[in-house]
């Protein structure tokens, strides 16, 4: 298992075919204000790739764009709503089709309100990860080894997690419902970016 660190783009051929796990690190939680600093990817074969964008980046990244916008390659996220919105805001692409492990968890783990990645990995896979670097400065000139490990751990187990959650979705008869939610996520992200992030447009009042 190796963590590869790249500046401004993913090298050609870095990932094998098939679904990829995707996550982002940003300067904050508002797409219109906070910049995208890091995109993490894994093809599920053991290695993780971190792509760092510096201040003033144009996010051209042709190889990364090709992977993220490939309509034939599934992207696995945890809380896709945020990551898809940040990628759309800064790179101008829909990083779909999508599988969101947080949505899948909410649909099948209705016995708990703990759907964070740390808790989910502990219960479903028996894996412990650290969230200590979650709120660190991702725009710093130097990304520490602890930050790199944290960023890599966010995509390292998503393929395995998807497989386990898919079994539960099938068992509970919620697979089609989950897929409908996943398909809606690019639209949900566009609503967030357009200012409806705190408004339930489906509500009566």
| pLDDT at residue 90 is higher than 70 | yes
| pLDDT at residue 176 is higher than 70 | yes
In the prediction, which pLDDT does 29 show?
85
Query: From the CA atom positions of the chain, what is the Rg in Å?
Result: 16
pLDDT tens track for 124-166: 999 988 766 667 899 999 999 999 999 999 999 999 999 999 9
Tell me: domain 3-9+18-196, CATH 3.40.50.11740, correct?
no
In the prediction, which pLDDT does 171 show?
98
- Strand locations in 31-101 (E): 36-42, 48-52, 75-77, 98-100
In the prediction, which pLDDT does 33 show?
86
Confidence of residue 184 (pLDDT cuts 50, 70, 90): very high
pLDDT tens track for 69-82: 999 999 999 999 99
Tell me the pTM.
0.95
In the prediction, which pLDDT does 133 show?
60
What sign results for the dihedral spanned by CA atoms 19, 47, 7, 15?
A: negative
Domain boundaries along the sequence of the chain: 3-9+18-196
| pLDDT at residue 50 is higher than 70 | yes
């Amino acid at each position: 298992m190796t963590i590869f660190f790249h500046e401004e783009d993913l090298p050609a051929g870095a990932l094998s075919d098939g679904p990829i796990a995707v996550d982002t690190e940003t300067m904050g939680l508002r797409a219109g204000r906070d910049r995208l600093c890091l995109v993490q990817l894994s093809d599920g074969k053991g290695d993780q790739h971190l792509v760092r964008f510096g201040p003033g980046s144009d996010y051209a990244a042709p190889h990364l764009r090709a992977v993220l916008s490939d309509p034939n390659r599934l992207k696995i996220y945890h809380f896709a709503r945020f990551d898809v919105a940040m990628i759309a805001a800064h790179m101008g692409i829909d990083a779909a089709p999508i599988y969101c492990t947080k949505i899948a968890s909410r649909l099948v783990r209705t016995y708990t309100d703990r759907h964070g990645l740390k808790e989910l990995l502990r219960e479903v896979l028996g894996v412990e990860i650290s969230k200590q670097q979650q709120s660190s400065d991702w725009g710093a000139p130097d990304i520490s080894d602890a930050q790199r490990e944290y960023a890599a751990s966010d995509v390292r187990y998503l393929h395995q997690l998807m497989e386990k959650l898919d079994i539960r979705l099938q068992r509970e008869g919620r697979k089609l419902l989950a897929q409908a939610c996943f398909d809606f996520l690019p639209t949900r992200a566009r609503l967030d970016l357009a200012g409806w992030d705190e408004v339930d447009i489906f509500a009566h009042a």
